[in-house]
Every structure is written in structure tokens, then in C-alpha cells.
Amino acid sequence: PPARSRGEIHTSGAIHTICRRVAEPVAPMSFALDAATRVSFTGERFVHAYLAHQFGDPPSPPPSPPPPNWRSPPAPCTSSGASVLMLGARARQFSSFMLLLGRMGPAGTFEQKHALILQNKDAVDIPLMLEALPSATEFRDAISSLSPEQQRFAKAYRAMQLEGSVFGILVIQLKPQLEALLKLPHDALTKEIALTQQLLDLFIQYQIPSDLLTYAGPASASPEEKLEAVRGHVAAIYKMVEAAKEGELHAARQQAMMEQPFHEYAESFGDTSAGFSLFQCGEASAMSASPPDSPPRRNARSIQRTASSASAAPPPRHSAAQKRVQMPVAACAAGGMEGSSNILMGGGFGGGGGFGGFPGLDGGPGLLGAGTGVGFGLQGSSPWVPSAQSGLQRKTKVKQRGRENIQPGLAWSSRQGDQRTALAEGTRFSRIRLKLKGVAPTLAPSRSRDRKKKARADDDDGGRGEKADIKRLRRQISQKSTQDEEEEMAQAGMDQYRVAPGRPASLELNKFEVGSWVEHREDASTWRLAIVRSQQQAGGQLQYTIQLEPVEQNRHKQTGVPHADLRMACSHPECKKHALHLAALPLFCDRCRKALMSTPQQRVYFQEKEAVESGQSLRLCSTCVGSLRAELKSKGQAGLDAEVQKFTRDLPQGADRQSLVLETLEETALPQRAENSDAPILSTDIDTRWAQCAGCFKWWHWVCAMYVETQYKNGRPFYCRGCAPKHERLSDELQSLLENNDATKLTQIPMGEFIEEQVRSDLEEAKIDCTPITIRIVSSLLMNSYTPERLVEHQQALGESYPREFPYKSKALLAFQKRDGLDVCLFALYVQEYGSDCPEPNKNRVYISYLDSVRYFESEPMGHRSTVYHSILVAYLQWTRMLGFKYVHIWVEPPKSGDEYIFFARSDQQRKPMKREKLREWYKGMLDKAKAKNVVEHYGTMHDMFNGLKSLAEIPLFHGDQWEITVPSLLGLDDEEYVSAPKSNKLVRMDSKDVVQKAQQEMQHLKRHFLVAVLRDPDLSPMKDNDPVISTDLTDSRQTFLGQCQMCHWQFNTLRHAQYSTRMILNHIHNKPSYCVEDCQRGRVEDGSFMVGCDVCDNWYHGDCVGISKDEANTMDSYLCARCRALDESGGLDEGGGGS
């Protein structure tokens, strides 16, 4: 037959058969459903015969090319020279039938092998597996030489072949069968198209038993009455199905929130190779890294430190012209990065409120000037919207942060998506430099420069009083740094080549140095590695003489190779290639919020054709598209519109969406790893950052050269590993820079020192020889976890008390090992410590929230990664036991395929999904080692530990834990009825028997998700935790760490990437900003205490260090630090004139 597309029926290749119609009445035939059930059938019968003549092998015409999306079926098995036959079947619109394929059996039986249902223009082409049988003469001649026993066997086998050689097709019309099944009159469903379709959906898709839909009334009723009764049954079943679907969707989203809280693994910066497209701000769109149209008001905002606000305080300098963005971010807000719902900064990238800021208390301007207060992300989806009852913190006149009196009414809700309701938390500001050199960022020029100049002129001419002076001082003090950064950012936009000093700035003259590696283009898609032997001018153009690799096999040198046929290759001996792939950033479905790249089988998703460029396109997985299509079939366009409005109302691209046209959705391929490539899984983009050695003038990838740009400021040239010893003198300044690359130079505190010593001792005891493991605590902050406001209000309405907040210390631990002289971050751990000052039920409990690792630990013998990681955890449990903690809670939830917890783009071997039971056994192995060391007394599931539960008030609520959601849910505080009319709901006590029983059932259901260990009492009196406060914007929260790694493509897929990413992390930690005055009493870090900000230089100061209390700050209109005040009095701020 001619080539055909999917679902396309061709009649031009139809064969002609000899047909005989068997007249009725005839004896019924039957086929078996199972061993005990047979179905008899009657109806028209036809016998077809096909005479396949063949007199040679005529040349077949060349096949027409298949459509681009057509995957040809496997070739049918045919005898030599036999034709390939296809069975075509198609159903008309609004018709349906069942097609059974098999063979004719003995005694009027039909032996079916396959069955399928076709309806509503379904069309299939089925290749037939043909096998030619020998004729009687051929068979007789073939067995003539066999023994009598063999001949008997051959004849029996041939008889069996002949008996089952007749191919049979049975067509069963479904509508008459439905009428008989539902006890409806004949032809009752003929014109009931919608009802018929609903019945088919219930039977086929939902497997509803027929007795729930069958008419059960008097047989004398009219056909209309019978139809109406069946229609009522169908409506009732659909209502039940919808309720079940809502429940399953709620459970699935809850599970997704457990596995990917707030969908941290978000896609960052659109579909470009990594430009930055920012968010909608008020009525203007801030594009790329350009600043907002109007500078924010610096004396009218309040900033609060909250439980999960883990990003660092703002850098010490800021101006509107600098490429920095000031973002108010809800601590648990979910706005994400293009289609994700992510809190990369834990109060960092993405979140509620855009540049316009949060709405004021009376609906007035937001906290950052005037604006609509819309949710924003980095082209994000699922922003969290402030609740109407949220009681936002009141604005103060002077900049403040770290306030302790956070309004308990502040809550964030995204109920439509059934996502987690953020706890009572305030907001904080985080300035992030959106500058990622080398990943092809697109830097748009400031579109509001003229508008700013005009506003500035108005201020200078008509501004009077202290506020005008503050503006003038701020512009003057930041002018020079602003100009420098503008020049730096302009260069970083498209120029990713760091040219060596003294070399031609034109890459045309400087790319291919003699002796350097290049790739030579042999055809449109093939590049081969070569080495440049010489270069010469010919006709005003540079031409090169190259020798292909390996040179031993390619003695001939190619001359006259033009510049256009070459591209750079890295000079690293283990790289020697041009393309260094970047890991693809994750994508999420806008409806179910699940990762689209969770399995290798998931290769496509759906998005709207016409809305992609505008950023308003929805992204949906195949499952959700199928669900929406079923919604359209069962409920019509109105039902589909209601569902679309339900899941899009919290998305920035769908806040005002009223409908969705399913026909506009098109399949879009998910990024996949290229075939025969060693790139990371799902890699799509290429790292374009190159640095030229100032000694040999060869080019290196930044990753391969371990090039940290911040270390090459002030004219310091870059030298590769071969040239550095010859050309670079080890000065004090260089030694200081190199110390930033060393993990051992990070600040050590008693906890890290204790764990490091225990790990060293355990490795020696196990006779494991390896490079020493470096343990450092990189974050240690005093935080507060706030109880859901509804839970507090519920308990108050019952006249019972419940803690509004649970203070705890958040800690982050990193473990390093040197590989080839370079540090590699191997292990990361985030914990929450609720001490003796925390109220019950969280008192003296430790929560291990997240840990992650990469497979680069090296030892002799190999295979002791778990030994090291177990040793770290056991040593940490020993430390907490010495501090007086009693319980350790562990959440056993492995990441799914494609997900990341802490490290971004781990090695391919680690991307395979881990089973929960395997992770559980790993934790149990660690706890068994802790028991052997008398650290842990016993451990078990949460159901075991809370077997005698008497009230929900005994269940601890940790920040970000599943029980923060489950406890309010058990009390009915997450129902829609409670949201719409909370006062009319019946109050349920925490010690209610039914509620406690439900909690125990939930613990039984989640018994493999949680482990609880009971620590032994310390041998001595508990120590006091004297570890200092450590705050680093990168490591203060897991979301921040992962988000920064995703944004900057700090990957861990190869050892070289891991070494480079670790170096970038170390430099970030070493160069963290210092706050406050030089003799600061708190170590010049942001520790969550009250701080005030200077309105001129933008530095932050602890209130205690500058003698300002919170009450005094509330009465101040502005604040100038001592330095800016002195400069203003001496006239130093007037130098240089106005700002730009």
C-alpha cells in the first residue's frame, strides 16, 4: 500500500476480494471472555477470499517520505515476495463500535486475540502478520522422506494450522448493547449523542459498574421516563467522580508539595540561552537586568526578618541606575522562574508583589512606591497572593529590618492550586545582582532613563526640605560606582571573551593562536579536532594551516583553511572541545505543578501556540491535557472554562484568563540529551565563556580554567596552569585571593570542629585512606517558625492556647574534599534545632530537613561514600545530644527523577530515581551506627513514637514539614467552606477522638515517610550552644543555594564542573558583605536582629550598635549613618555634581 500518515485511511491501495454473504438465520457463534464465560452473537456474516497472484518481483517505486511526526510501525512478517496487507478501520462522528481480531475456531467459535474500541472519527491501520502455508503437493513431497512417526506429527501440525488459518474480524456496535444493558427500548439512544458519550466515558474510562446506571423502574414506563432515569444516574455518578477527582488532585498536590516544596526546582530564565527576562512591575515591564522605571522610595518601607527569609541582607550600595533589582519577597512565596513556582531565595527570587510592591493597608501604594502589587517571578508562575485578612506590617518612615514584632495575621494563600499556605511571616528585601557573565545574557538598555532625568530635574528644581536633600546625597555618593558598574555590565552582556592584555581586541585576529586546539568543519554538522600549525594572510583574509587529530594518523596538513571553517576548542587536556553543555533548567506543569522532566519517557509537553512569545502561554503535561479534554467532553466548554479559571487564577499569565482553547495547544519537545553526547542529561545550551591565557595566548573555558572573574579585577591577567608558575609572582594580594578558593580557610566553629574530628577518627578506625574531609558550618541563624494563623484562631475560638511561633536555629553544613588539589563540595545538610526555650510540642527536637551529596568522594579502597556521610550524621547527632536535645525527626523522601534538593545538575549516575525504601534503609543504617555508639537510644516510625497520641497538640510542627499542612487539614481548616465562612463552621477540638484517630491513621499511612530517633541523655550536663551567628546569603537556605546554582549554572555533573562550582561557592562565602560599624558587637553579620538602613549609602546597621531602638526608628523620617553625615557636613558629597 502507499505510504500513509497516522490515522489516514487510503482506499487507493484497497485489495479486491471474493465475498459471500451468509444468509440468516444461522446458528449463533460464540467467543470466550474467560474460562467460565462465553458470549454468543448473531448478525450478518461475510466470508472473504483474496487471491494473491505474484509472477516475479517487479521493481517497487521509491517510497514517499513519511511525515515528520510519523513513526513507522514494525514491518509485518511476510513470506518472501508476499504483499504487506493492512487492515484499516474508521469510526464515523458520534458512532462507536468494538473491533475484535482473531481467527475462526472449530464448532462455530471465534478465538479473539485483540480488541479495541473506535469512536468519533477514530481511525487505525493494523499491519497483518501473514505466513504462507505450503500446498498439499508441496507438503506431501516435503514429508515423504520422514519416518512414519514424524509424518504423523507433521500431519497433525498441518491440520492444526489449517484449522486456525482463517482470519476473523468481529464488529460489535456499542449503542445497541448499551440499550440492552441499561434496559432501554430499542433505538432509545439513537439521538442521545451527549448521553451516549457520557455512558461510554463512564464505562471505558472510569470502569463504573453497569448496575449503578441501569434503569430499575417499572417496565411499563415510557421511553422518555426511562431515559430520564438513566440520565439522572449518569449525573449522580459524574458528581461522585468529580468529587473523587478533586480529592485525588488534592492528595497528589499535597504529595508533590512534600516531594518538591513550593517547586524549588524551577526553570530560571526563559527559553533563551540564558538571558534574564524579569517581571511585570506595575504598568511597566522591567526587561532583562534594567532597573525599574522609577527609583523606589527609600524612607517608606519596613522590612522584617522571618522564619524562612534566608537570603542575605542587601549589598552595602544601591542606586537606581545600577543593575541591581530590589525585590520584596514573601518568605514562603512561590512565584517562580518561567512556569515554575519557586522560592529560590527562600524569600529570594520570585514571590508575592512586584516592583509595585505589596498593597498598602488601605489599598494605597505598595511598599516600594506606587504599584499594583501584582505577584512576580522571573517570568514566573504561581505567585502567592496576600490574604485579604493578612494584616500586613505597617509602613515605617525609616528603613528597618529584623523586626521581632511580626504581625501574626500575615498569611499567604494560594488555595486554588491546593498549595501550601505560608505561615504567619513578614517580608524581607533582597537585592540580587542579575549579572551572569558567559551564559549569553541579554541586557536591555534602560527604557526609562529620560523619564528618570525628568523626575530628577523636577526634584532638584522644586524639591525642598530634608527629603530632597536625602535624594541629592544619595545620587552624589553613588554616581561613580554607578558609572563603573554600567560599563562593566554593558561589557558582560554579549562579550564573553576575556582577551589577554596586549592582544588584538578583534577576535578575528586573536582566536586561533599557532599551537592551539580548534575544531574544523568538514560538513554542515561535523566538526573534527585539529591543531593550528601556522597562519598567513591571503587576499586580505587570514588563512590557517591545520593538522587533524590524531596527528599520528593524519600526517597530511590542510592549508588555506578559512577563518569561518574553524571554531575554538578548549586547551584543557581533558576537554579539547568547543561545546561545553549547560544543564537544562526544570519545567513544571501549570495545572498539577509537577515536574515535566520527571521521567525519561516524558518527552513532550503542551503549550499555546500564539502566546509563547508574549509570555502568557500555559504549559501543561500530557496527563493534564487529557484530563481537560475529558472535562470538555463531559461538561462542555463551560465546565472546561471553570476548571481553567480554577488552576490559572494564581498564575501571573492566567490571573485574568477566562477560557482555554484546547486546539491552540501544540506539542513541544522537552529538552533531551543529544545522542552519543557526554553532556548532562537534558542539556540544551552551551557555555560561551572563554578566557585567554596571557602567557601562551590559548583559550580556555571558564569552567576548565577555574576562572573566577572577581579574582581578575584591577588588571590582573589570567594565566593557565602551565604558565602561572612562570609568569605570576605569589604576592600577598594574590595569596589572599587564592585563600578564597580554599575550604579550609572558611571560619571554623566548635560544632564543625567536633564533626570534622569525629569523621577523621571514624575513617582511621575503618582503615580508609583518603584526602582529609573538611567540615564547615556555613549558616547558623536564629529563626522563627510561625503557626498557621487559622490554627491559632481556631484554638482561640475554643478558649485554648497554642504557640504562635516556634523559635529555632537553622544550620547548614557543607563537607569538602580536595581532588587534584581543588576542593569539591561533596555533602550538604540543612537542619532545624528547636531548643529548650522553644514551647511544646517542638521543645528539644531536631529536624533534619534536607541533605544531598554528589559522587566524587575518593578513597582507598573505593566505595565508602556512605561511610563518610553516616559518620557526619552520627557526629552531628552526638553534638546535639551533648547540647541536650532529645528527639531527632527525619523526613524520608527521595528526590524524583530530574529533581534536585541542594546540588544542581548532579552526575548522570545520580539522576536515576531512588526508591523510598532504599533511602529509609540508608537512614536506618546510620541510626544503627548511632545506637552502637550510644548516641541513639531507640528509633522508629512516627506512628510508633506517637502511638499513645491524645491530642493533635502533641504533634510537633517544623518549618516546611508535611505536618504543618496535615494538622490544620485534620481540623477542617483547609476546606473551602471554612475559607468562605469560617465563623459558621463547627469547631473541632484537638483532643477529639475522631480527630486523634484520623491523625493516627495518617501516621500509619505515612509510616515510611518519617523516622524519629530518641537520643540518650548526655553523660554530663547539657552544654550551651555558643556557636556564633553565621549568615551568608548563598547558604542561609536550601532554596537560595539551589536557586543560585541554577541561575549561575554551577553544575555538579562532572568532576571538573563540581570543582568549578565549588570554587564559585567558596568565593561567594568568603566575599560575603559586611554590615554595620567596624566595632560591631554582632560580628558584622545579619543575624536577624533589628537593623536600620542609611538612606544615602544603603548600608545596614544593628540598632544596638548605633543606639537606635525600634520605637525610636518608628518616629524617624530618615536616617544617615555617621560616615554619610560626616561627608555631608564636610561637603564631600557635593563633589562630582549630580548623578546619572
* DSSP letter string, 148-176: HHHHHHHHHHHHHHHHT--EEEEEEEHHH
Cell of 957: 510542627
The candidate with the shortest Cα–Cα distance to 378, out of 265, 288, 264, is: 288
Given this model, what pLDDT does residue 590 score?
85
Mean pLDDT of all residues in 959-987: 71
- CA triplet 360, 361, 366: central angle to 5 degrees? 5
Question: 430 near 311, Cβ under 8 Å?
Answer: yes
Question: 1065 near 1050, Cβ under 8 Å?
Answer: yes
Give residue 845's pLDDT band: very low, low, confident or very high (50, 70, 90). very high
* Strand order through the sheet with 845-853: 773-786, 805-819, 822-834, 845-853, 887-891, 1010-1015, 936-941
| SS3 per-residue string spanning 688-717 | CCEEECCCCCCEEEHHHHCCCHHHHCCCCC
Alpha helices in 883-945, H assignment, sequence order: 916-932, 942-945
Highest mean pLDDT among 142-151, 317-326, 749-758, 908-917: 749-758
User: Is pLDDT at 848 greater than 90 in this prediction?
Assistant: yes
User: Is pLDDT at 304 greater than 50 in this prediction?
Assistant: no
Q: In Å, how far are 25, 82, 532 from 169, measured between CA atoms?
A: 20, 21, 69
CA distance 424 to 791: 11
Mean pLDDT of all residues in 422-438: 30
Give residue 251's pLDDT band: very low, low, confident or very high (50, 70, 90). confident
Residue 645 CB contacts under 8 Å (≥ 6 apart), including other chains? 657, 658
Give residue 93's pLDDT band: very low, low, confident or very high (50, 70, 90). confident
Q: Are strands 497-498 and 690-692 parallel, antiparallel or unpaired?
A: parallel
Q: At 230, which helix (H) or strand (E)? A: helix 223-259
On the CB side of 272, CA atoms within 13 Å amount to 17
User: Is pLDDT at 363 greater than 80 in this prediction?
Assistant: no
Mean pLDDT of all residues in 1079-1099: 77
Give residue 1015's pLDDT band: very low, low, confident or very high (50, 70, 90). very high
CA distance 844 to 880: 9
Given this model, what pLDDT does residue 490 score?
37
Question: 1002 near 883, Cβ under 8 Å?
Answer: no
User: Is pLDDT at 33 greater than 70 in this prediction?
Assistant: yes
CA distance 783 to 330: 15
State CA 671 to chain mean position distance: 14
Given this model, what pLDDT does residue 675 score?
57
Question: 668 near 656, Cβ under 8 Å?
Answer: no
| Range 863-891 burial, b when 16+ CB lie within 10 A, else e | ebbebbbbbbbbbbbbbbbbbbbbbbbbb
Task: Give the three-class secondary structure for 1120.
Answer: coil
Given this model, what pLDDT does residue 54 score?
64
CA distance 758 to 868: 10
Mean pLDDT of all residues in 906-931: 84
Given this model, what pLDDT does residue 426 score?
30
Given this model, what pLDDT does residue 774 score?
96
CA distance 933 to 930: 5
User: Is pLDDT at 129 greater than 90 in this prediction?
Assistant: no
Given this model, what pLDDT does residue 796 score?
86
User: Is pLDDT at 443 greater than 70 in this prediction?
Assistant: no
More confidently predicted of 173 and 599: 173
Residue 550 CB contacts under 8 Å (≥ 6 apart), including other chains? none
Given this model, what pLDDT does residue 695 score?
92
Give residue 113's pLDDT band: very low, low, confident or very high (50, 70, 90). confident
CA distance 600 to 897: 8
What percent of the chain shows pLDDT beyond 70?
69
Give residue 677's pLDDT band: very low, low, confident or very high (50, 70, 90). low
Residue 623 CB contacts under 8 Å (≥ 6 apart), including other chains? 592
Given this model, what pLDDT does residue 56 score?
57
Task: Give the three-class secondary structure for 231.
Answer: helix
Given this model, what pLDDT does residue 309 score?
35
CA distance 115 to 33: 12
Mean pLDDT of all residues in 338-351: 32
What percent of the chain shows pLDDT beyond 90?
25
Q: Are strands 527-538 and 541-548 parallel, antiparallel or unpaired?
A: antiparallel
Give residue 476's pLDDT band: very low, low, confident or very high (50, 70, 90). low
User: Is pLDDT at 1061 greater than 50 in this prediction?
Assistant: yes
Q: Which region among 143-157, 351-365, 542-556, 995-1009 has the lowest average model confidence (pLDDT)? A: 351-365
Give residue 681's pLDDT band: very low, low, confident or very high (50, 70, 90). low
Question: 634 near 620, Cβ under 8 Å?
Answer: no
The neighbour count for residue 950, using CB atoms within 10 Å, is: 11
Q: Which amino acid is at 126?
A: I
| Range 42-71 burial, b when 16+ CB lie within 10 A, else e | eeeeeeeeeeeeeeeeeeeeeeeeeeeeee
Task: Give the three-class secondary structure for 15.
Answer: coil
Q: Are strands 845-853 and 887-891 parallel, antiparallel or unpaired?
A: parallel
Given this model, what pLDDT does residue 260 score?
55
User: Is pLDDT at 252 greater than 80 in this prediction?
Assistant: no
User: Is pLDDT at 364 greater than 60 in this prediction?
Assistant: no
Q: At 248, which helix (H) or strand (E)? A: helix 223-259
Given this model, what pLDDT does residue 857 score?
94
Highest mean pLDDT among 6-10, 563-567, 1058-1062: 1058-1062
pLDDT tens per residue across span 1019-1059: 888 898 888 888 888 898 898 899 889 888 899 988 999 99
Q: Which region among 510-514, 647-651, 1082-1086 has the lowest average model confidence (pLDDT)? A: 1082-1086
More confidently predicted of 539 and 526: 526
Given this model, what pLDDT does residue 142 score?
87
Phi-psi region of 48 (alpha: psi -120 to 50; beta: other; left: phi over 0): beta
Dihedral sign (CA 606, 609, 610, 615):
positive
User: Is pLDDT at 446 greater than 70 in this prediction?
Assistant: no
Given this model, what pLDDT does residue 390 score?
33
Q: What is the dihedral of CA 148, 150, 153, 154, to 10 degrees?
A: -110
Task: Give the three-class secondary structure for 247.
Answer: helix
Q: Which amino acid is at 320?
A: A
Residue 595 CB contacts under 8 Å (≥ 6 apart), including other chains? 260, 263, 265, 586, 587, 588, 896, 898, 899
Mean pLDDT of all residues in 890-905: 82
Highest mean pLDDT among 428-432, 632-636, 700-704, 1112-1116: 700-704
Q: In Å, how far are 789, 807, 948, 999 from 954, measured between CA atoms?
A: 18, 17, 10, 11
Indicate the angle between helix axes 1038-1048 and 1055-1070, nearest 10 degrees: 120
User: Is pLDDT at 807 greater than 90 in this prediction?
Assistant: yes
Q: Are strands 690-692 and 665-669 parallel, antiparallel or unpaired?
A: unpaired
Given this model, what pLDDT does residue 922 score?
94
Give residue 83's pLDDT band: very low, low, confident or very high (50, 70, 90). low
User: Is pLDDT at 972 greater than 60 in this prediction?
Assistant: yes
Q: Which region among 451-455, 500-504, 542-546, 625-629 has the lowest average model confidence (pLDDT)? A: 451-455
The neighbour count for residue 242, using CB atoms within 10 Å, is: 15
Given this model, what pLDDT does residue 77 score?
42
Please report the beta strands in 28-146, taking only residues with DSSP state E, as ranges in sequence order. Answer: 29-34, 37-41, 45-49, 86-90, 96-104, 110-119, 123-127
Task: Give the three-class secondary structure for 415.
Answer: helix
Q: Which region among 57-66, 738-747, 956-965 has the lowest average model confidence (pLDDT)? A: 57-66
CA distance 684 to 673: 7
Given this model, what pLDDT does residue 468 score?
53
Q: In Å, how far are 138, 345, 484, 651, 748 from 1061, measured between CA atoms?
A: 74, 18, 27, 33, 21
Given this model, what pLDDT does residue 1118 score?
85
pLDDT tens per residue across span 619-657: 888 888 988 988 888 888 888 888 888 888 777 665 567
More confidently predicted of 585 and 913: 585
Give residue 283's pLDDT band: very low, low, confident or very high (50, 70, 90). very low
**Mean residue pLDDT across the chain:** 74
Q: Are strands 497-498 and 427-433 parallel, antiparallel or unpaired?
A: unpaired
CA distance 506 to 1071: 33
Give residue 957's pLDDT band: very low, low, confident or very high (50, 70, 90). very high
Q: Return the DSSP state at 954.
A: G
The candidate with the shortest Cα–Cα distance to 571, out of 686, 697, 687, is: 697
More confidently predicted of 539 and 262: 539
